[in-house]
Amino acid sequence: MAPPDFCCCQREQPAKLCIAQYTRIVKSMDRHPMHQKKHASEPIERLQVVREAEGSPSRRAALSATGKTYAELELVYDAFNAKLFGGQLPGCLLTLQREKRTYGYFSSERFGNTRGDTVDEIAINPAYVAIMPLIEVLQTIAHEMVHQWQAHFGKPGRTRYHNEAFGNKMESIGLMPSHTGKPGGRRTGDCMADYPIDGGLFLIVCAELITNDFRISWYDRFGAHAPISPGDHPAVGHDLPEAAMAIAAHEGVVLAPLSNKPGATNRSNRSKYACGCRPKINVWGKPGLDLSCNVCFSRFDEINGGEDATVVTSNED
């Protein structure tokens, strides 16, 4: 599957670690003398959060969802860093950001602290996670990690351009860059996707990760568009665990109707749809249509109410 603006690059560690092991490591860090000293001034605040969680089922569920979501993403990052990048990458701050017509992005030195330290950001768009196979989410994280590798050890292309060096690094980790997300697409350009190389390192690492019971627990119910068919993904036919091709919207996650997204305003009985072409191709039709473009091979995103409508996906760079 290829989204409209596959990757949007702004301005530009053990692989078998399970969630339980990750939690034990975090707790052991919390018991470390240096860590205790650092947080010695805030025991009251931390205790208050714990007490609130104990007394409120909704608060307890929210804390669990937050912890699981970011632990799962960091688990993928750590496994890929160890197995695909030889542990070279310096770490990053993983975030969830709704960006229009993109699965994710990398932003170099995006965050900083009062000591002058900086850290890169890798963002994943949650609006797509429930409507595409798990393998595509993993591809997105690996794709953005290649941008991070290039920022630290290579020569990035201008702004959003995916250059030849980017393509070579992608191939070295087992992903083939393609502007369509399928075989035969261009290897370089502004809007790029990718697909797994048969027998490549990426598929080997993903199979190991998913076989060890990796999963994503929480999904954005307001998807960017209707779920894709698993058979449309280029990873079909590869030797992968069944869970790799699972789509949450087909596995029990109940999506909200596209026309009922928060902030959506549609004063007419039709919606505007735009694809990823440059210039864009726009079409109009009834709300909730599932449309694909035969030019850029992306799906049309729905924009309710015509020219003055509120965009019901997320914001673009």
Model pLDDT, residue 214: 86
- Mean pLDDT for the stretch of residues 35-40: 40
Q: Distance between CA 7 and CA 14 in Å, rounded?
A: 27
Confidence of residue 105 (pLDDT cuts 50, 70, 90): very high
Q: E-assigned strands of 154-294?
A: 175-178, 193-196, 271-274, 282-285
Confidence of residue 100 (pLDDT cuts 50, 70, 90): confident
Q: What is the DSSP letter of 299?
A: B
**pLDDT above 70 coverage of the chain, percent:** 71
- Buried b / exposed e over 31-48, threshold 16 CB at 10 Å, is eeeeeeeeeeeeeeeeee
- Mean pLDDT for the stretch of residues 87-93: 97
Whether pLDDT at 232 is above 90: no
Q: Distance between CA 215 and CA 76 in Å, rounded?
A: 10
Whether pLDDT at 260 is above 60: no
Whether pLDDT at 2 is above 90: no
Which tokens hold the place of 290? 């599932």
Whether pLDDT at 122 is above 50: yes
Which range has the top average pLDDT, 6-15, 35-44, 144-153? 144-153
Q: Say whether 58 sits in a helix, a strand or coil.
A: helix
Model pLDDT, residue 305: 38
Model pLDDT, residue 164: 96
Model pLDDT, residue 223: 82
Question: For residues 2 and 114, which has the higher predicted lDDT (pLDDT)?
Answer: 114
Question: For residues 49 and 69, which has the higher predicted lDDT (pLDDT)?
Answer: 69
pTM for the model? 0.69
Whether pLDDT at 302 is above 70: yes
> What single letter denotes the amino acid at residue 6?
F
Question: For residues 92 and 190, which has the higher predicted lDDT (pLDDT)?
Answer: 92
- Mean pLDDT for the stretch of residues 94-114: 93
Model pLDDT, residue 218: 95
Nearest of 152, 233, 220 to residue 193 by alpha carbon: 233
Q: Distance between CA 135 and CA 245 in Å, rounded?
A: 6
pLDDT (tens digit, 9 = 90+) per residue, 201-214? Answer: 999 999 999 987 78
**Average model confidence (pLDDT) across the chain:** 78
Model pLDDT, residue 30: 44
- Mean pLDDT for the stretch of residues 256-275: 66
Confidence of residue 273 (pLDDT cuts 50, 70, 90): confident
Respond yes or no on whether the N-terminal peptide bond of residue 279 is cis (omega within 30° of 0): yes
Whether pLDDT at 195 is above 60: yes
Question: For residues 244 and 22, which has the higher predicted lDDT (pLDDT)?
Answer: 244
**pLDDT above 90 coverage of the chain, percent:** 45
Whether pLDDT at 306 is above 80: no
Question: For residues 16 and 176, which has the higher predicted lDDT (pLDDT)?
Answer: 176
Which range has the top average pLDDT, 30-39, 138-147, 293-302? 138-147
